[in-house]
A and B are shown apart, each in its own frame.
Chain A
Amino acid sequence: MGGLKPFAPENLSMKRMGILCCCILTLVLSSLPIRAQQPPASSPVTSPAASTSSPGAAKAIADKLNQLDQRVTAAQSSADNAWMLVSAALVLMMTGPGLALFYGGLVRHKNVLAIMMQSFALMALITVLWALVGYSLCFGDGGPVIGNFQFAMLRGVGVVPNADYAATIPQLTFMIYQLMFAVITPALITGATAERMKFSGTCLFMTLWFLIVYAPMAHMVWGKGGFLNASLGGKFPTLDFAGGTVVHITSGVSALVCALYMGKRVGYPKQPMPPHSLVLSFIGACLLWVGWFGFNAGSALSSGGLASSAFVATHFGAAAAALSWSAAEWLKNGRASALGAISGAVAGLVAITPAAGFVDPLSALGIGFVAGAFCYWMVTKFKAIFGYDDALDAFGVHGAGGTIGALLTGVCARMVINPIYGDGKAVGGFDGHWGQVGNQLVGILLAWVFAIVGTIVILKIVDAVTGVRVTEDQEIEGLDITQHGEEAYNLES
């Protein structure tokens, strides 16, 4: 995402087309004067006529070529736009129903509607904010930290492409695609606050979080002028293809802050709180996997080779992480669980997100393997040592997976996959540019600090205005009844 350069093959085919056209043009043009200058000696009268026809013919051909050029551009635009619209829909599907089902299955049955409703409410809430100011704050040409109001109310956002970000698709497509990221990112946080956060508090928190944490972070990494932007000449170019820092570190770390701030659920950890339906979670995880192709391969912002590269890396990362999480669990408990396998896949998808358009398939496998085992350790051991109640492991999967993924992106990024710094210039550690790992660390650190400070401030505000947490009685009765006045399963009706 973030205005990555179109992959070489499109440029090549464009160039080839151009060269071919030039050849035809020179051939045709050079043949005309020759004929004109070598008339039969017996007919000198024809000569002036022939020489006057040559500029007219040249103009006609130039017009023809111009038309051809426009058609080629239109064809590429259509192809890219088709994929980008599908990708936008896929990313929306990740929030609802993907994440809603994944999280919904993991909570107890008295809280399933509440957690699904939180995801769904964000689909509506962030969309409205996005139209008003969100898109502009993220992608307007502002300073190094945040955008401006040039696109507020979507002013000037139409079918004309914005060449800074994606030169071949309507800016409307780019805008709606980016919106879907802004929707799912805060939704990820609800995994940590699950089963105990007020609905009113959630709405206020998410509004503020989107404006104070997400918008600046997205601008810094992907926006024009952002000082971490790798494709538009940021000061500390952080490689983040589809949102390892912007989406997963910010949401995961904020989730941890929320879990620490809110405290544990009533009865945690003594009382058993097993997932109420792993079947729902299973379907949700599979939808996330599919949706992630839109998330990562769509971040190529075009339908060419870079999208294929990101698609493949995404799939390989997920598969490897599902295996490594399962293997770790099998060694530890003697069994591989379904919840473990799907959690591993999600962890792999998270970790491959920043790397997807920069690494080759084998590196993707490697990143997946590391992420699966690491996140397994985070949610089983690390969480137990510190005793915080990150209910559905938003930090353990997204914060931890995003961090390890962003770091490994700096190691594994290759110029043959994505020559983001220009042709022949080393990108990541494997290319010999180990300084990139340092850049990644700057980006990671900044995302952590931004998320921690921003979330603490926001929680204080929300606590003063609506309150963050439901009462103990409400929590015991369940959020479905107390926050929404309905139950998920009325089996007797």
Chain B
Amino acid sequence: MMKIEAIIQPSRFESVKDALLEIGIDGMTVTEVRGHGRQKGHTEIYRGREYTVDLLPKIKLELVLPDGMVNRAVETILKSAKTGKIGDGKIFLSRVEEAIRIRNEERGESAL
């Protein structure tokens, strides 16, 4: 099992979600987050006072998938989240030891 954490542009979220649904992935956890990588923020001016806003709003998707589905999911996210500009975000992959469904205590991939 692998966990995919994808940090993407909020404007791309709907198309990423739809694309994942199309390949049969229907479980995900979504968080509104703030952060920045290479993308620099923007400047806001209120009555002459300038603020540099460098933590920008992003969406973080978390999905835990069986090993066999990971590559397709990553490709789908890459395709649907890309705008080609700085600030499109990142995907992190990590191994997951165990998954447990709370309702019936199923374990492993069948719990996903």
Contacts and interface: CB of A to CB of B under 8 A. Distances in A.
Contact of B47 (A269, A272, A335, A393): A393
Nearest to B51: A272
Interface in B44-100: 44-49, 51, 53
Interface string A338-380: 0110010000000000000000000000000000000000011
A340 B49 contact: no
Contacts of A383: 48
A71 B46 CA distance: 56
A381 B49 CA distance: 10
Nearest to B45: A333
A274 B48 contact: no
Contacts of B49: 269
A340 B44 contact: no
B48 A384 contact: yes
B30 to A, nearest CB: 17
A258 B58 CA distance: 41
A275 B46 contact: yes
A384 B44 CA distance: 17
Interface string A265-277: 0000100101100
A340 B51 contact: no
A257 B47 CA distance: 21
Contacts of B51: 272, 274
A379 B44 contact: no
Place the interface of chain A in its size category. Answer: 10 to 19
Contacts of A379: 47-48
A73 interface: no
Nearest to A339: B46
Nearest to A343: B47
Interface in A378-406: 379-381, 383-384, 393
Interface string A301-320: 00000000000000000000
Nearest to B53: A272
A245 to B, nearest CB: 25
A337 B48 contact: no
A162 B31 CA distance: 66
Nearest to A392: B47
Contacts of A337: 45-46
B35 to A, nearest CB: 17
Contacts of B48: 379-381, 383-384
A384 B49 CA distance: 9
A383 B47 CA distance: 10
A325 B51 CA distance: 20
Contacts of A339: 46-47
Contacts of A343: 47
A339 B45 CA distance: 10
Nearest to A268: B49
A99 B111 CA distance: 56
A275 B46 CA distance: 8
Contacts of A272: 51, 53
A486 to B, nearest CB: 26
Which of B46, B48, B49, B51 has the largest count of A CB atoms less than 10 A from its CB?
Answer: B48
Nearest to B49: A269
Nearest to B44: A274
Contacts of A333: 45
A343 B53 CA distance: 23
B34 to A, nearest CB: 14
Contacts of A340: 47
Interface centre among B49, B51, B53 (most CB of A within 10 A): B49
A274 B46 contact: yes
A267 to B, nearest CB: 12
Contacts of B44: 274
B44 to A, nearest CB: 6
A383 B46 CA distance: 13
Contacts of B45: 333, 335, 337
B20 to A, nearest CB: 28
Contacts of B53: 272
A275 B47 CA distance: 10
Contacts of A335: 45
Interface in B15-40: none
Interface centre among A272, A275, A335, A339, by most chain B C-beta atoms within 10 angstroms, is A272
Interface of B: 44-49, 51, 53
11 contacts: A272-B53, A274-B44, A275-B46, A335-B45, A337-B45, A339-B46, A339-B47, A343-B47, A379-B47, A384-B48, A393-B47
Given A339-B46, A393-B47, 7 more contacts: A272-B51, A272-B53, A274-B46, A339-B47, A343-B47, A380-B48, A384-B48
Closest 10 CB pairs of A and B: A380-B48, A272-B51, A379-B47, A333-B45, A274-B46, A274-B51, A339-B46, A275-B46, A379-B48, A393-B47
